[in-house]
Amino acid sequence: MNKPAFDVQATNAASRKAAPRKLSLKERYNLMTGDLGWETTYQPMDKVFPYDQFEGIKIHNWEGWQDPFRLTMDAYWKFQGEKERKLYAIIDAFQQNNAQFNVTDARYINALKLFFQGVSPLEYAASRGYALAGRNLRGVGARVACQMQAIDELRHAQTQIHTISHYNKFFSGLHENSYMFDRLWYLSVPKSFFEDAMSAGPFEFVTAISFGFEYVLTNLLFMPFMSGAAFNGDMATVTFGFSAQSDESRHMTLGLEIVKFLLEQDPDNLPIVQHWIDKWFWRGYRLLALVAMMMDYMLPKRVMSWSEAWEIYFEKNGGALFEDLARYGIRLPKYHEVASKEKGHLSHQTWATFYNYTHATAMHTWIPEPHEMDWLSAKYPDTFDKYYRPRFEYWDSLAKQDKRWFNPGLPMLCQTCQIPMLFTDVGSDPTRVVSRESVYRGTKYHFCSDGCKDVFDYEPEKYVQAYLPVNQIFQGNCGGSSLSDVVNWCHVEPADSGDFAQSEDRANWNRWTHADAGSEA
C-alpha cells in the first residue's frame, strides 16, 4: 500500500528518496474522514450514541453522507488562518482611521446593536449546537462536518465581538451582550429559537439549523445586515461578513445535502423531515420579524424593502428550491402563504412595538423622517398609508408636545415564538390582533398564529417549559417590580434606552461630526 500523503512529513530517509504518489482530493478526504471512525467494541454502538434513534429517523448507510467540499482538516486550518490574517489587518486599519465616524448617521448603530445583541450570541449557540450534534451522530462524515461548523461558528462569534468592541467605545447598547441575550425580553426570541433546536434530537437540530436556517432563510437574515452595513459605510461589519461568507456557503450546501441524505435513506423519514421543515420555517420566519424592521426602519440608507426581499429570497428562490425537492415528496412549508400575506405589514407592526417599549430595550427607536415615510408609502402602497402612517404621525405629534408615547404595560407573549402578540389578521382585518389558544393540563397558553399553535400542540410538554420574560417579570424573578429594577437586572444602562432624539448617542454624534455646529461651546 502506498504511504498516505500526510505521513510524508515524517523525516525518514526512505520517504525522502522516493516521493510517494500525491493522493487525489477524494482519496485524501476519505483517509482524513471515513478512516477516522471506528465501530466500538467495549460498549455497543447504541449505548455510545444514545440520541440518534429516538426521533424515528432511519439511516441504513452512513457512507451515503457526502461532503460536497471534501475539505480536510489541514486544508481547513490553512484557509481559515489566511482569512483571519486579512480580517484583523482591516479591523486594525478601521480602528486607526476612526472609521466608525464614516457611517451614515448614529441611528445606523442601532442595527448593529440588534445584530450584536441578537445574532452574535446565536453564532456561539450554533458552535455549541454543532459540537453536540457531532457527538451524537454516529456517521463519521456527519461528525466531521459538524466539527468544522462548530469551529466556524465559534470563529464568527469571536470575529464579531472583536470587530464590534471598537464601536462599544463610542456608542451605547454594545457593552454586555451576553447578559442582555439571556435576560432582555426581545432577545428571548432568537435565544429560544436556538435553544429549541439544541434541545431537540441531533437530526432535528441539523435540519432546523443547517437546512431551515442556513439554507432557506440565511439570505434573509445575514445578507440584509451585511448589505445594510455596506450601504451605510460600516466597513468593519462588511469585512467580518465577507470573512464569514465562504463558511456560510459551505454551511448552506451542507444544509441541502443533509435533507437529501435523510430522504434518500428511508421513505419513513419523509413525514418526519416535512414536519421539521414546517416547524422550522415558521419559527425562522417569526424570528425574521426583527430583520424586517431593521431593513425598513433602522437603515438610514435602505437596501431594499422587507417585502421585496421576501419576494426575491423566499417566493422566487425558495419556490425554486421546493420545486426541486418535490421529487423527494417534500412540499412547501406549511403557512408559507401566511408569511407572504404578512409581508406588507410585518416591519411596521414590529417597529411600532419597539417604539412602544423603547424604555425597556438596549437600543433606540424614532419616528421615520418625512422622506423615509414617503419611501415606505412607495414600497408599501397597499398598507403603509392606510394602516401605519397615521399612527406614526400621531406619535410624532405627541413627541413634539413633549409627550413621547411609551407603553407602560407589559405585553402578552406568544408561548412559542415569544414575540409580543402584535401580528394582525392581515387576510380579513389588519387592525385585529391574531390570538390563538391551547389548553394543556388545565392551563391556557397563547399564540400569535396558527403556525406557533401547531408547534406547541405537537410537543406541548416541551413548550410549557418556555422561559417567557414577561411572565418571569410578573413572578418577581427579574430583579424587582419596577421598570428600573428589571432593566438594571438585564445590565441595561439608562443611556442604552429611550428615543433616539434624546439619546447620548445622538448628542455625541453631533458633537463629533459637528452636525450641531454652534450648539456646543
Binding site for Fe ion (CB under 5 A): 123, 153, 156
Query: Binding pattern to Zn ion, positions 361-400, x when CB under 5 A?
Result: ----------------------------------------
Instruction: Reduce the secondary structure of 21-45 to three states and give it as a string.
Output: CCCCHHHHHHHHCHHHCCCCCCCCH
- N-to-C CA span, the chain: 81
Distance CA 389, CA 383 (A): 9
DSSP H or E stretch at residue 246:
helix 235-265
Q: Which does 379 bind (CB under 5 to 8 A by kind): Fe ion, Zn ion, none?
A: none
What is the footprint of Zn ion within residues 115-174 (CB under 5 A)?
none
In angstroms, give the least distance from the CB of 423 to Zn ion. Answer: 8
- Binding at 452: pick from Fe ion, Zn ion, none (beta carbon under 5-8 Å per type): Zn ion
Q: Closest approach of Cβ 151 to Fe ion, in Å?
A: 11
Q: Which of 292, 346, 417, 426 binds Zn ion (CB under 5 A)?
A: 417
Min. distance of Cβ 460 from Zn ion in angstroms?
A: 15
- Residues listed for the chain: 521
Sequence-separated (6 or more) residues with CB below 8 Å from residue 47:
none
Residues between 249 and 288 with contacts to Zn ion, criterion CB under 5 A: none
Residue with smaller CB distance to Zn ion, 335 or 500: 335
- Nearer to Fe ion by Cβ, of 67 and 153: the residue is 153
Stretch that binds Zn ion, among 263-271, 332-340, 414-422, 508-516 (CB under 5 A): 414-422
DSSP for 266-325 reads -TTHHHHHHHHHHHHHHHHHHHTHHHHHIIIII-SS-SS-HHHHIIIIIIIIIHHHHHHH
Contacts of 225 (CB under 8 A, 6+ apart): 111, 115, 119, 237, 241, 291, 294
Nearer Cβ to Fe ion, position 153 or 496?
A: 153
Residue nearest to Fe ion (CB): 156
Asked if residue 148 lies in contact with residue 76, where contact means CB atoms within 8 angstroms, the answer is yes
Per partner kind, with CB cut-offs from 5 to 8 A, the member of Fe ion, Zn ion, none near residue 123 is Fe ion
CB nearer Fe ion, residue 248 or residue 296 = 248
Q: Which does 119 bind (CB under 5 to 8 A by kind): Fe ion, Zn ion, none?
A: none
Pairing outcome for strands 429-433 and 436-440 = unpaired
The binder of 156, among Zn ion, Fe ion, none, by C-beta within 5 to 8 A per type, is Fe ion
Closest approach of Fe ion to the CB of residue 126, in Å: 6
Contact partner, 71, from Zn ion, Fe ion, none, Cβ < 5-8 Å per class = none
Distance between CA atoms of residues 406 and 157, nearest Å: 33
Q: Which of 326, 207, 208, 219 is nearest to 259 (CA)?
A: 207
Whose Cβ is closer to Fe ion: residue 69's or residue 375's? 69
Q: How far is the CB of 286 from Zn ion (least distance, A)?
A: 5
Q: What are phi and psi of 52, to 5 degrees?
A: -100, 15
The phi and psi torsions of 403 (rounded to 5 degrees) equal -120, 50
- 281 with 336: CB under 8 angstroms? yes
Partner touching 414 among Zn ion, Fe ion, none, CB below 5 to 8 Å by kind: Zn ion
Whether residue 392 contacts residue 367, with contact meaning beta carbons closer than 8 Å, is answered with: yes
Shortest gap between Cβ of 197 and Zn ion (angstroms)? 16
* Grid coordinates belonging to 347: 416591519
Please report, as residue ranges, which positions from 437 to 466 form the binding site for Zn ion (by CB under 5 A). Answer: 448, 452
Q: Minimum distance from CB of 454 to Zn ion (Å)? A: 10
Please, which residue, 33 or 416, has the CB nearer to Zn ion? 416
As measured in angstroms, the least distance from the Cβ of 465 to Zn ion is: 16
- Cβ proximity to Fe ion: between 123 and 196 the closer is 123
CB of 174 or CB of 455, closer to Zn ion: 455
Judged by beta carbon, residue 250 or residue 446, the one nearer Zn ion is: 446
Rounded Cα–Cα distance for residues 225 and 237 (Å)? 9
Please pick, from the candidates 71, 161, 289, 414, the single residue that binds Zn ion as defined by CB under 5 A: 414
Q: How far is the CB of 452 from Zn ion (least distance, A)?
A: 3
What Å distances lie between residue 66 and 25, 51, 71, 203, 350, CA to CA? Answer: 14, 22, 11, 16, 41
For residue 203 the three cell numbers come to 437530526
Residue 417 binds which of Fe ion, Zn ion, none (CB < 5-8 A, kind-dependent): Zn ion
From the list Fe ion, Zn ion, none, pick the one residue 172 interacts with, judged by a Cβ distance below 5 to 8 Å according to partner type.
Answer: none
Contact in structure between 199 and 141 (CB atoms under 8 Å)? no
How far from 39 is each of 89, 243, 262, CA to CA, in Å? 45, 37, 22
Q: Cβ closer to Fe ion: 246 or 502?
A: 246
Cβ 473 to Zn ion shortest distance, Å: 19
Nearer to Fe ion, 100 or 127 (CB): 127
In whole angstroms, the minimum distance from the beta carbon of 52 to Zn ion comes to 30
Distance from C-alpha of 205 to C-alpha of 146, rounded to nearest angstrom: 11
For residue 415, give the nearest of 375, 471, 366 by alpha carbon. 471
Smallest separation (angstroms) from Fe ion to the CB of 149: 8
Residue 434 binds Zn ion (CB under 5 A): no
Residues in touch with Zn ion (CB under 5 A): 414, 416-417, 448, 452
